């Protein structure tokens, strides 16, 4: 289940964080304004790439110019896995929620609605539950970056856990809108944690999950409207984006805040590559109208767009880098491992179902 839009608020605040994240980002931008290396006419004196295009990026990469890559992604990297995004006309998730008889589409991700009527959410969760879908080339590309010791951090708006399934380690992940990987009792005095296996068993038995300790609702750790983002989102970006030398943005509208504002936090020498179906994040539309992706400007020295389906863009990048054989080997190994794990899981599930069936006859 992907969520480029599941946290679709103009801003979010974390009451447990000492600073408002939007204020923190604003302060970073103000500091950046005073540090930009520009001449009196506003022309940048920074030169990173020989040519500001894919050819220049590939040459710089092959010469060892990128050592700390940060990736930022949205629902577009998971649509080829069969998971709908949220807002595409006709196929988006919000267009297909009529059967749940919601007062309005986004109610399914509101805590107040969930507490009073959790069944629609868990019905949708069963339909789109992680584990029913396989990683895409984009997910395996991120895994490949990590294997080659190039991935500094991966920031995702998605809640489908496909990065984890592809083998990206937890310490490299910032799941900005939460995850199905863990769940918690919603009672403030309890907060008992539950595993993804526990939650999956409940959902696939069509049972509304209740806490074993206090019988209160248990909710997957995905971020609903009005909830705090994970602590990692507040603590890691300042250093990550300061160190980053290549920012790869894939499959996102760059409209959901505060996630979209991360593109502004990179240092002035960081190259930014957009792999997407359309241009997004340009300066006139960018948060605070400052330092958006600057593809068409004569002053552009670092922003490159590779337009089309994300999978195709990633394959082009891999091919140009001469990594096709290595990438295909990784995909085959991971796919085989997933198949073995799935077979084991299905066997355990079948045995459990037979046991429950037998117990019911006693």
| Enzyme catalytic residues | 177
Q: Is 272 annotated as a binding residue?
A: no
Is 3 annotated in a binding site? The answer is: no
Helices (H), the chain: 21-35, 54-62, 111-116, 119-127, 137-147, 162-166, 196-204, 231-235, 237-243, 310-320, 324-361
Q: Is 178 annotated as a binding residue?
A: no
85 labelled as ligand-binding?
yes
Contact 309, 80 (CB under 8 A): yes
The answer to whether 113 is a known ligand-binding residue is: no
Structural element, H or E, at residue 271:
strand 271-276
**Do 73 and 156 meet the contact criterion of CB atoms below 8 Å apart?**
yes
- Is 278 part of any known ligand binding site? yes
253 is in an annotated binding site: yes
Tell whether residue 190 is among the known ligand binding residues.
yes
The verdict on whether residue 233 carries a ligand-binding annotation is no
CA dihedral for 316, 320, 323, 325, sign (positive or negative): positive
The residues, ordered by sequence, that sit 6+ positions from 110 with a Cβ below 8 Å of its Cβ are 224, 225, 226
Annotation-wise, does 302 bind a ligand? no
3-state SS of 143-189 is: HHHHHCCCEEEEEECCCCCHHHHHCCCHHHEEECCEEEEEEEECCCC
* Sequence-separated (6 or more) residues with CB below 8 Å from residue 226: 9, 12, 110, 111
310 is in an annotated binding site: yes
Q: Which residues are annotated as a binding site for Zn(2+)?
A: 185, 190, 211, 214
Q: Which residues are annotated as a binding site?
A: 75-79, 85-87, 157-160, 185, 190, 211, 214, 252-253, 276-278, 310
Q: Which residues are annotated as a binding site for NAD(+)?
A: 75-79, 85-87, 157-160, 252-253, 276-278, 310
């Amino acid at each position: 289940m992907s969520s480029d839009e599941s946290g679709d608020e103009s801003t979010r605040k974390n009451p447990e964080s000492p600073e408002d994240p939007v204020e923190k980002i604003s302060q970073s931008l103000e500091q950046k304004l005073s540090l930009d290396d520009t001449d009196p006419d506003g022309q940048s004196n920074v030169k990173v790439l020989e040519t500001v295009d894919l050819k220049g990026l590939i040459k710089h990469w092959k010469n060892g110019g990128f050592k700390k890559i940060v990736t930022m992604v949205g629902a577009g990297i998971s649509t080829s896995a069969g998971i709908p995004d949220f807002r595409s006309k006709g196929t988006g998730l919000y267009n297909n929620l009529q059967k749940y008889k919601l007062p309005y589409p986004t109610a399914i991700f509101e805590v107040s609605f969930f507490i009073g009527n959790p069944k629609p959410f868990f019905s949708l969760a069963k339909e789109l539950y992680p584990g029913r879908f396989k990683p895409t080339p984009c997910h395996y590309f991120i895994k490949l970056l990590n294997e080659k010791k190039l991935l500094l951090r991966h920031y995702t708006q998605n809640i489908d856990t496909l990065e984890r399934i592809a083998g990206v380690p937890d310490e490299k992940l910032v799941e900005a809108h939460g995850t199905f990987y863990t769940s918690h009792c919603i009672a403030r005095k309890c907060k008992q944690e539950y595993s993804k296996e526990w939650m999956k068993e409940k959902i696939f038995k069509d049972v509304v999950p209740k806490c074993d300790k206090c019988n209160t609702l248990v909710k997957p750790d995905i971020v609903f409207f009005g909830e705090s983002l994970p602590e990692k989102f507040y603590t890691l970006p300042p250093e990550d984006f300061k160190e980053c030398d290549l920012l790869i943005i894939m499959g996102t509208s760059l409209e959901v805040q505060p996630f979209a504002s991360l593109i502004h936090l990179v240092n002035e020498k960081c190259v930014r590559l957009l792999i997407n179906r359309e241009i997004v994040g340009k300066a006139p539309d960018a948060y605070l109208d400052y330092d958006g992706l600057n593809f068409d400007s004569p002053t552009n020295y670092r922003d490159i767009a590779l337009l089309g389906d994300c999978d195709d863009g990633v394959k082009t990048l891999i091919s140009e880098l001469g990594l096709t054989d290595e990438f295909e080997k990784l995909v085959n190994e991971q796919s085989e491992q997933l198949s073995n794990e799935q077979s084991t899981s299905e066997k355990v599930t079948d045995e459990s179902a037979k046991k429950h069936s037998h117990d019911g006859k006693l």
